[in-house]
Amino acid sequence: MSVLVRPLGEPGDLGWVVMAHGEIYAAEYGWGTTFEELVAGIVAEFAEKRDPAREAAWIAEVDGQRAGCVFCVTADEHTAKLRTLLVDPAFRGHGLGARLVGECVSFAAAAGYRRLTLWTNDVLTSARKIYQAAGFTLDDEGPEHRFGADLTFQNWSRTLP
C-alpha cells in the first residue's frame, strides 16, 4: 500500500471533497444534503478567497486513489480552523486521519497562528480520538438539530508552539 499526503490542487480535488463528505456522512449517519451544502460552502470559500501563506488543504491518497482530506483556514489573525477532516471508510485504520491532522497542526504553527480550533459532533468518535491525540481539548458542547439529526456539537482547540 502506497500512501501519499499531498497539497490539494489536482483537478477534481475540490469536487471530491464535497462529494465524499455528502456520500459518506449520508451512508454512515443518515445526514441529509444540508451537510453536503455546508461542506460545499467551506470548499467554495477556500477556493475563492484562500490566502496561500495562511491557508492550506491536503488530500491523502492510497495507491493513487483519494482517501481523505483536511483544510486549514483562517478564523482570525491568531486563530486557524481545522475543517473537513475525512477519511474514506475503505482506508480507515492506517493512520491517515492522524497524518492529515498533523499536517494541519504543523502548517498552522508555521503560518504563525497561536491557536487551532475545530467544530465537530459527538457521534464522530474516531475523529475525536485523533483530535485528542493531537493535543486538542474540548472547550464546550451542546445540543443542536442539524443535517436532519439531533446531535451534540463540540468545539475543540489547542495552542500552537
Domain ranges of the chain: 3-159
**pLDDT at residue 1, as a whole number:** 87
Encode burial over 71-104: b for 16+ CB neighbours within 10 A, e otherwise. bbbbeeeeebbbbbbbbbeebeeeebbebbbbbb
**pLDDT at residue 23, as a whole number:** 98
pTM of the model: 0.96
Residue ranges in the chain whose pLDDT is less than 50:
none
Highest CATH level, class, for 3-159:
alpha beta
